[in-house]
Amino acid sequence: MSALETTKTVAVVGAGTMGAGIAQLAAAAGHPVVLFDAFEGAAEKGKAGVDKGLDKLVSRGKMTAETKAALLARIRLASDISEVAEASLVVEAIIENLEIKRELFASLENLVASDTILATNTSSISVTAIARELKHPQRFLGMHFFNPAPVMKLVEVISGVATDAGAAEMIYDTAQNWGKIAVHAKSTPGFIVNRVARPYYAEALRLCEEQVASPATLDALLTGAGGFRLGPFALMDLIGNDVNYAVSESVFNAYYQEPRFRPSIMQLELVNAGRLGRKSGRGFYDYADDATLAQAALENADSNAEAADIKLSGGFDIDGVVVEQTTGVTAAARAKTLGKPVIVLDLNKGTGTSVVGFACSTNVEDETVSKLVAGLAAQDIKAVRLPDWPGLVVMRTVAMLANEGYEANMQGVASFEAIDNAMKYGVNYPKGPIEWANEIGLANVLAVLDGIYHLTRDPRYRAALSLRLAADNH
């Protein structure tokens, strides 16, 4: 089934930031658009917001004034919901409340044609549950955009239990036609992105609770070595700790208290204290104008120290000390196995790395550490000395992201390709978790998870069966 023809009308119900953005996308693709909001003046405000946003594109030379005028002309404001009756696709972008959404779609079903597709932009509510009372649930699905909709590339196309495969394929093609990266997913808690992303926050919080490193240090490692655009603590402050915690708790409860999704008491305490992040002026970081900027705990490079020849991929020697990349085994355990002192390096992105974490077995001399730090500094790379912890920071985080990706795929939520695309284009990860795991080596990812589980016996580190089988087959 091909994409919705651009001659067909798209209706958007809900003219807030998301709804207005979706209306802009549909109009930019050439569709006539009907924009409706139940609150008086909201649709006008939504279209005015689109106008203002397009003005910026025109001023930067990315859109002509004529193109802008034509786009806006295709967006018609509706004063009554009955005006959506002409639409071939209706996208809902209203409050995240199951009963209110059910009521809306029940009324829409009586207004539109029998072949009109009904879509919800919900980010957290079961698509199947919303469709339960519909007479024709086969034409209902999720069309989950990311904020801001005109900018973010991803659209999750969510199929409920009753969704017709042809309808899902049409919306997939339509999203692609609108310039988006579309992915198919099954209606399960968190869909792809909000589920697979949980370890990015959860492991950072857990590492902080375990006193492995401070928020600033963990953020520096995950951006400087991992290549993530924003560290988890800065990101939680941006999202709002109340919002991020609520999503974590929702996914945790939706999966019947699955330990992998266990929320953090540390984050809960910040919420209890009203430290919600940027919007409240303080979260993990202090955003007051006179606040001291939190600094990562970096090693000072000794200008007099001999600089070791560093290979970021690991596997070299400094003064008889083995330096290798972590695979989840502690430096102490590796030293016992090899009969030599050991330094383990955290996972890093190689070229472009600006920060690297490392840990030492107990018998590594300070002089050797100085040579390591000086060698890194010679490559403009800062060093962070970590406790001898299994998986360190970046490797542990990526292993858990990959594990969740394998678990989601095993449960039929989405294909490996969809999972990778969802994380790259929905939350701007430097690599898809499945792609990353294959690059690291599935056996290494499994070793990290097994190593942490062996020491903690925490079931959150239980490896996905599909990951274990895939590692065995490689």
Q: Which residue has the tokens 């695979």?
A: 327
Tokens representing residue 366 in the block: 């300070």
* Nearest in space to 15 (alpha carbons), one of 63, 86, 117, 84: 84
Q: Which of 121, 194, 348, 370 is catalytic?
A: 194
d(CA 205, CA 245): 11
- Could you say which of 92, 109, 156, 407 is catalytic? 156
Q: How far apart are the first and last CA of the chain?
A: 37
156 labelled catalytic: yes
Confirm whether 184 is a catalytic residue: no
- Is 194 designated active site? yes
Distance, CA of 23 to CA of 4 (rounded, Å): 15
Active-site pick, 31, 88, 109, 123:
123
Label residue 230 exposed, middle or buried (CB < 10 Å: 0-12, 13-18, 19+): middle
The catalytic position among 144, 187, 203, 444 is: 144
Query: What's the length of the chain?
Result: 474
Q: Is 428 a catalytic residue?
A: no
Number of Cβ within 10 Å of residue 363's Cβ equals 13
User: Cα angle vertex 83, ends 81, 88, to 5°?
Assistant: 105
Residue 430: asked if its preceding bond is cis (omega within 30°), the reply is no
* DSSP state string for 437-454: HHHH-HHHHHHHHHHHHH
Q: Which residues of 83-93 are buried (b: 16+ CB within 10 A; e: fewer)?
A: bbbebbbbbbb
Phi-psi domain of 428 (left: phi exceeds 0; alpha: psi -120 through 50; beta: other): left
Rounded CA-CA distance 260/252 in Å is 8
Q: What angle do CA 207, 225, 391 make, to 5 degrees?
A: 40
What residues pair up with 145 in beta bridges, in sequence order?
Answer: 155
> Would you please indicate which residues are annotated as catalytic (active-site) residues?
123, 144, 156, 194
